[in-house]
Structures are given as C-alpha cells and as structure tokens.
Amino acid sequence: MYLYNSATHKKEEFRTHTPGRVEMYTCGPTVYHFAHIGNLRSYIMEDVLEKFLRYEGYDVNRVMNITDVGHLASDADTGEDKMLKGAKRENKSVMDIARFYTDAFFDDCAKLNIKTPDVVQPATGLIGEFIRVVSALIDRGYAYLAGGNVYFDTSRLDRYYVFNDHDEEDLAVGVREGVEEDENKRNKNDFVLWFTKSKFEDQALKWDSPWGVGYPGWHIECSCISMKFNGEYLDLHCGGVDNAFPHHTNEIAQSEAYLGHPWCAQWFHVHHLNTNSGKMSKSKGEFLTVSLLEEKGYDPLAYRFFCLQSHYRKGLVFSWENLDNAAGAYNKLIKRIAALTRLDGAVDEEAAAQLKERFLTQVGNDLNTAQGITCLYDVLKAPVNDVTKRAVLASFDQVLSLSLLEKAAALREKEAAQAKTAGADGFTIQGGGDPEIDALVLQRAEAKKAKNFAEADRIREELKGRGIEVTDVPGGAVWKRI
C-alpha cells in the first residue's frame, strides 16, 4: 500500500516498525457537543483505512482518545475550556456532558458503520500518566514552570514545524487567528503541558500535581495515551487536517523529547468537508448532524457513500443536492445488487481473485475510495455468475462498509411484500422480490386466463430452467427457488 505522508509531503510505501503489525492512533472527539458530519468525514476515512489494512492482512491495534478535559476554545491554549462551555450551555456537570456526547458520538459511528477502535481512552482516566510524562520533560530540560503553568520549551528542538515550512516571522503572536499573547512563555510558539488555577479559577475538573492544582493541556493527552497503548513506536497517526498545526506538531515535539527517538513514521490527514459558504463548524450555519440527515429522510450510509466518492486529501463540498445525487447512486447500486438472485453454481475463484487484486491495487494507491466504488461496478459488469459477484462484493464491503448485501436483502424483502398486492385484477405474486421473475409469473397467469396453455407451459419451463418453481394459489401464485 502507498499512502501520502503529511510529514514528508510525498506518497510512500506503507511500512511498519514491527512487520505485519500496525500501531494506529486516531485523534478522538472533544465531547462537549454532537459531532457534525464534517467531523465524521475524518472518522469514516480513518475507518476505511483501518479496515483496508486488516484486509491486506495486517494486525491492527487502533487507539483513540476521548477529550473530556483541557481542550480550550483556541487550539493555541487560549479561551474557555470547551467542556466547561458545554456544561454551562446545558446547565449540567462536565462529566454528565462528557458521558452524553461520548455515547452520542459512538451512536453516530454505529449508524455510519464506523468500527469502534480497539482502545478508547478518556483523558480524565489517565491523569497520573500525564503528570509522569510532564515531570520527565521538566527533568530533561524540555519544559519549564512559569506563572503557575508548565510549558514545553520549543527552543530546545532542532526543528519544530514538521508539516509546513515557516519563516521566523511566523513565531509572532497573531499569525494564527485568535491567538492571544501569553506573557509566561519564553518563546512565542511554546505550549502548555499543565494548567493551574493561575489560568482559570473556575475550571470544573482539576487534580493535584507537583506544580499545583490544575489540569492537563490538550496536546499532552494524545502523546501519553498513544505511548501507553501503542508503545514507543507509532506507525500511523490520523486526524483532520486542521489538527496538523498546532496539535500534531506539538505531539511530535513532546513525544520525541520524552522518548529520545523518532516517534511516528506516517501521518494521515483528512481534508475538510465544506459548505458553499466555507468550512463546516458547530458555530455557524445549520448544525449538520447524522440525526438531522435521518430527520430529512437520508440513510446515514448514503452519507458514507458520498464521502467515499471523493479522495480524503481533497476538500469535499456538502450541499443537499450533492447528497441527493449520492443517495440516488447508492440506492441504484443496492437495487442492482438486489437483482443478483441466481444462486446456482459455485464461486469462480480465479475471476474473484483478479477482481480482488484490482481492488487492492486501486484502493491501495493512497486510499483511493472513489476507485474502490468503481470496483463495485466492475464486479456487477463482470462476466461471472451471481454467486461470484455476491462473494466479491461482500469481500470489498469488509473495507467500504456500505452494508451492500444486507441492504439488498432488505430491498428484496420489501419488494416481495409489495408484490403481494401488485398484480392486476387482484392477482397476487409472492416470491423473492425479483421484478423480472414476477413479470414472467404474471405473464404465465395472463396466458392461462386467455386459455393459451402452450404459452403458459412455455413460461413455466423457462422459469424452471432458471431454477424457479411456481405454485398456483387462490387469487395468485407463489414462486420459490429450487
């Protein structure tokens, strides 16, 4: 597999520290509100990446944090704590907010067929680990105490900026919108590892530490959680492109200062979901959630399909018209799969292997999910039997997770139920919900009604040749596969 590496700015062959094993880390949500569908685009693409690696045969250990403390309104350590903001908004405790929105996040993930990571760790459950690592950074001269807070000293690094090139003037306050000057910092780009009451008197969650009562900075939690559950060498770190700086930049700085060696080889960043008016956020415009999509009648998997039609390193523009187009294409795909009803014969293993090899090559080229979707249509057009097509589609769906066969089966059941009352003059047809077979059964009934028994017998033989047995019943007919 080849993946674009945000740290080297080029596409590289994917390699791991331990052959056959992937240590993977995903930046999880800050659980102060519902996730909007822009947030969830990143988790969908990360989910496909994890499943593709497993499909290739890797043993994957995927770890995710839950940020329930320490994430301030600005990524640059300024503003109000987002968790406290959510608690005030709803007049609840911070932990009540955290539990509610954590559950809501994983409910949304389930609707989108996003697999729960192997390890999910709330930040508040690992405070002792944060304190231990911060203490070590102080001891090694990479951190200092000022104004009651503990800061990471970026001047100790040979290279701070990893994902982008910066000039010296970039260190000036105000380069990042909303950044306010912190007089305690020795260098403009230093960042907080631990806050004390000198930062906020009203912080809801706080713990004893060697530096006073306080709470961890946002950046330290991901490093510590990953090092605890992924080990000292991380193969793959994922997140939204907006996290590259400063969050992921700071993670690299503190992790490598603590470990004394390179930390993460591969960085995977998903680009934004935008609206016609710009980047999607919780603070402006219509708050687009999975629940809202459902209220408007959309299957959440139609949104997953919409995301997979685009490359993860390209901005994706959301509009209701674009979602309608994706939903229409998804429904047509399901209908075509539902028509694969001839289950006689065996899987053509050679043909299946060729189709799978193309899928591995296409999706393995920097997680090209749009080509993965194209591979589904290639299967449907392939000159192989329905059994082979269904087997290969099921195989690809281990990665794409669009519930293709499940949705197709549900559609056939729905059509079968509708077919019971669809016949002319009260004639009802019960069967597997295959419109082509239903039409032949109806033609046979009409031939019998017209006393054209030769034509009726011919149709019966044609159906028998397709593996269909027809039984006449009062007011209609029932067919089944034999």
In the chain (482 residues long), the average pLDDT of successive 10-residue segments reads 96 98 97 94 98 98 93 67 79 88 97 98 97 98 95 95 62 41 88 79 81 93 98 98 94 98 97 80 73 96 98 96 97 96 93 98 98 98 97 98 96 73 65 79 90 93 90 86 80
User: Taking the model in full, what pTM does it have?
Assistant: 0.84
CB-CB neighbours of 50 under 10 Å: 23
317 and 229 fall within a common domain? no
Residue 245, in any domain of the structure: yes
- Give the pLDDT score at 210: 96
Whether 162 is covered by a domain: the verdict is yes
Q: Do 109 and 239 belong to one domain?
A: yes
Query: Whole-angstrom Cα distance, residue 147 to residue 131?
Result: 18
Give the model's pLDDT for residue 69.
87
Helices 37-56, 349-363: crossing angle, 10 deg rounding: 130
Q: Could you tell me if 13 and 1 are in contact, meaning their C-beta atoms sit under 8 angstroms apart?
A: yes
Determine contact, residues 441/431, Cβ cutoff 8 Å: yes
Cβ atoms < 10 Å from Cβ of 93: 12
Q: What's the confidence (pLDDT) of residue 86? A: 83
Of 30, 78, 68, 73, the residue nearest 191 (C-alpha) = 78
Question: 146 by DSSP, 3-state: which?
Answer: strand
CB 56 within 8 A of CB 398: no
Instruction: Examine the domain organization and report whether 435 and 317 are in the same domain.
Output: no
* pLDDT for res 175: 37
Which pair of structure tokens corresponds to residue 42? 């990143």
Is residue 170 located within the same domain as residue 57?
yes
Q: 87 is in which domain, residue-wise?
A: 2-270
Distance, in Å, from the CA atom of 391 to the CA atom of 394, rounded to the nearest integer, reads: 5
240 and 126 within one domain: yes
Q: Are residues 386 and 444 in the same domain?
A: no
Domains: count for the chain:
3
Statement to judge: residues 115 and 181 lie in one domain: yes
Is 278 a domain residue?
Answer: no
pLDDT value for 436: 84
* pLDDT number for residue 178: 44
CATH code at position 37: 3.40.50.620
Q: Is residue 265 situated within a structural domain?
A: yes
Residues 381 and 448 in one domain: no
Of 386, 408, 430, the residue at which a domain comes to its end is 408
Distance from C-alpha of 411 to C-alpha of 80, rounded to nearest angstrom: 49
Residues 316 and 428 in one domain: no
